[in-house]
Structure 1
Amino acid sequence: MTTPLDAFDGAFSLSDPVIETDQSAKTQTSETLRLFKEMLLMIVSEILSHEADPLLNTPYNQFPHRQPGNLSVVCPSYPEPHVNMEHGWQKTPPQFHHFNQKQEMLDGNHHNGKYAKNSDPGDISLFEGKSLMPLNSAYKEYLRNVPKAHWQEKSTCSHLNALNKQDQKKFKNMDITGIVNLQCSHVFIKASVDLQFGERFFIHQLKLNRLKHAHFRFANVDYALTLALQQHCHLDSLDNKFITSCNHLVSYDIACAYWVHVMERFEIKFPDLVPAVKKIHWLIPAVHMFNHKDNCIYIHAAAYTPLAGHFHSEMAEHYWAECNQLGPQT
C-alpha cells in the first residue's frame, strides 16, 4: 500500500461493507486518515495504559506521581523518584547534586508551520492534551489572556538582533508559524506547543507595585516549560524535595533573554511552579553559543558551568530533520 487510497481499499476488503464504495477518492482518503487516527489512539492507550495501575500493588509498579492517563513516552534514564532513583538519594551532599541532575532542552522550529486554510472541522486531535501537545482549548485561552505588546524591546546580543529582524512576510497567511519542543538530553520530547509569529517575545507594562518595569513575555515557551514541569503534578513531600533540590539544567538558544524575567512571569501565571523554576540553571547550546556575545558565553556555556559535564545540548536539533519533511505538507 503506497497511497491512502490503497490503504482504504485494503481496509474495505477486510471489513464489513459499512463504507460506501461509490464515495470519491477525497472522501475515502479523509475517512481513512480518521480511521488511522482512531487506531493510533487505541494502540497508544493500550501500550501506555494507566487503567491497570491500581491493580499493581507493589510500589515499583505504581506511578501515582505522574499525571493520570498520560500517553507520552517517558525517558527511562531521566531521574525520577519511585522509578529509577536509588534509595536514600535525598541524603546526597550538595556537592554531589549533579548525580541527580536533570538536563532538558528548549528549541523552536519555523519550518513546521501551518497555513490558514479551509479544512475539515472534525480533523482534531483525539489525545485531548494527554500526550505531548496541550489541550487546544486551554492553550488558546492562555494565549488570549496574554497582554499584547505595546512595544518590542531590542536586545544587544547579536543572535537576538537576528531574531528581531525576522521577516514577518514569511509568516503571512499562517495561523501556526512553527513549534517549540522541550525534551530531555536523551531526546525524549516532554512537551510541544505551537508558535504564532515566531519565537518573538511579548512585552507589556506590569501595573504592580513590585514590578514597575517592562519585561519579556515568552508566552509560548513558558507554556511548554509549564507542561513539562506539570507532568509530575501529583507530588508528595519526597517528590517536592527532589524537584526543589536537584540540579536542573535547561538549554535554550536565546536563554540570555528568556531567563531575565522568567521568575516574574511564572509568579504571575504559574505561581505553583515558582520553586521548580528557581532551581533551573539556563544554558545556551554549544554551537549556538558562538553567535552570542562573550558575556553570554561565560554565563550560559556548559563549559563554564560547574558540574554540567559535556552537556552541549545540540541534540535538540535531531527531531527537526524528520519534522521538516512534514512542514511543506501543511
Structure 2
Amino acid sequence: MLQLTSKCATYDYYRAIEKLANNTGVDVPPSKYRSLLRMGIQWRHLKLMKRGGRGHDETGVKGTKDGELAVVCPSCPHPGINLPVGWESAPDGMKFLYFVFLCMDANFRLKNQLVSNYSADPGLGTGLAYMIKREPLEEYVKSRIKDLDEESTKGCGLQAVEQAHTRFNKGLRYTGISAVSCGRSEMVMPCSIGNLKKGEKYANMDYGFGRVLQFLFVLWVLISYDAACHWFVNLYQRIREHWPEDIKPKEGVSIEPLIPKLHDAGHKKTKNHEQFSFNLFKGVGLTDGECPERIWA
C-alpha cells in the first residue's frame, strides 16, 4: 500500500527499515533486500490469484486461463451482461451504442535492460492478466522479421513508424512496450501489453491487437492508433496470410481505424485522410482516442 500511495521504491522502503533498526551504521545487519524483493513478488502474485477467485476453482492456479485475472472493463459492451437482447440487429443509427472503442500505442520509456535472463528470472503470472505470454509473441514477431511492410510508412510524419527498425536498443532486451486500452474508461485490456524488441513494428502491434480481439464478443470495433492510416492498409491481408489462428478476429467483426485527435495534426495529410478523423466518424461523440497518453502519464 505504501508503494501504491507514495510511489516508494522497494529499496527506499528497505533502507528506511534498516535505519530504524540501526541508524548508527556501525553494526549493520546482514542485507535482506533481495529476500524482500522476492517476497514482494510472491505476495503480489498470491494476491492476484486470490482476487481472481482461483482458490474456489478445482483446477486451482494451473487452470487459470489467459487474461482471466484482468479486471473486466465495465464500460465495454459485453453480450449477456450489459447488452439488451437483439443488440446485433440494431439499426444503423443505433449501432454506436455497441461499439468497442480501443486505443493502441507504444511506450519507449518502459525499457528492459539486458540483465539476467528469462530462464533465471521468469514471470510468475505472465499472460494471466495484462501481459502477453512471451513465447508466442516472440515466435510470431520472429516469423515476420523479414517483412518490409513498415517501409510503406515513410513520409507519415511520425517517428514511431519511421524508426520502426532503427529504434535505439543498445544494452536493452526490450526497447519498450505496446498496449491496448479501452477508449471509454481507459482500462487496460486483457493480454494487451507486449514487449517491443526493436521499435514499433507491425508484427508487435498486430499480435497485441489480435489477442485483445479474443476477449471481445461484439461486431463493431473502433481502433484508435497514431499510425492507423498506414498500419490498416494491409491489415486484412496480414490477418489472412500471417496471423496465427488463435488471434484472428471472429467472423463478422467490423474493424474501423481512427487516428487520435492530438496526433492527427502531426500527420502529413494524404488523399482520403479524413476517413481516419474522430471529428467526422458518426457515433464517437467527443471521444479523442488519446487514452494511452494519459495512461503513460
* Structure 1 and Structure 2 fold alike (TM over 0.5): yes
What TM-score results when the alignment is normalised by the length of structure 1? 0.71
Report the Cα distance in structure 2 between the residues aligned to 1:29 and 1:277, rounded to whole angstroms.
Answer: 53
What TM-score results when the alignment is normalised by the length of structure 2? 0.78
- Residue aligning to 1:223: 207
- Answer yes or no: is the 8 Å Cα contact 1:107–1:316 preserved in 2: yes
Query: Structure 1 residues 283 and 31, CA, compared in 2 at 3 Å: closer, same or farther?
Result: same
RMSD, matched Cα: 3.2
| Runs of 5+ consecutive residues of structure 2 not aligned to the other structure | 3-7, 18-27, 59-63
Query: Structure 1 residues 73 and 49, CA, compared in 2 at 3 Å: closer, same or farther?
Result: same
Kindly tell me the number of residue pairs found equivalent between the two proteins: 270
- Residue aligning to 1:270: 244
Deviations 1:250-298 (A, max 9, x none): 0000001110111111112235624468511000000100111334641
% of aligned pairs identical? 24
- Residue aligning to 1:307: 283
Q: Which moved more, 1:143-152 or 1:298-307?
A: 143-152
Give the partner amino acid of 1:39: W
Query: Structure 1 residues 68 and 286, CA, compared in 2 at 3 Å: closer, same or farther?
Result: closer
- Residue aligning to 1:33: 37
Query: Structure 1 residues 138 and 157, CA, compared in 2 at 3 Å: closer, same or farther?
Result: same
How much has 1:141 moved relative to structure 2? 2.2
Report the Cα distance in structure 2 between the residues aligned to 1:138 and 1:158, rounded to whole angstroms.
Answer: 30
Deviations 1:157-203 (A, max 9, x none): 44247742579473222220111110001111111001121114xxx
- Answer yes or no: is the 8 Å Cα contact 1:154–1:161 preserved in 2: no
2:95 to 94, 97, 101: 97
Report the Cα distance in structure 2 between the residues aligned to 1:164 and 1:48, rounded to whole angstroms.
Answer: 41
Give the partner amino acid of 2:52: L
- Answer yes or no: is the 8 Å Cα contact 1:263–1:277 preserved in 2: no
- Residue aligning to 1:249: 222
- Residue aligning to 2:196: 195
Give the partner amino acid of 1:47: R
Structure 2 residue matching 1:303: 3-state secondary structure: coil
Report the Cα distance in structure 2 between the residues aligned to 1:175 and 1:306, rounded to whole angstroms.
Answer: 42
Structure 2 residue matching 1:281: 3-state secondary structure: strand
- Answer yes or no: is the 8 Å Cα contact 1:71–1:130 preserved in 2: yes
- Answer yes or no: is the 8 Å Cα contact 1:177–1:198 preserved in 2: yes
How much has 1:133 moved relative to structure 2? 0.9
2:74 to 69, 73, 76: 76
- Residue aligning to 1:42: 46
Report the Cα distance in structure 2 between the residues aligned to 1:45 and 1:161, rounded to whole angstroms.
Answer: 39
Report the Cα distance in structure 2 between the residues aligned to 1:134 and 1:91, rounded to whole angstroms.
Answer: 33
How much has 1:119 moved relative to structure 2? 5.9
In the alignment, structure 1 residue 178 sits paired with structure 2 residue 211: no
Deviations 1:139-164 (A, max 9, x none): 22222322424696243544247742
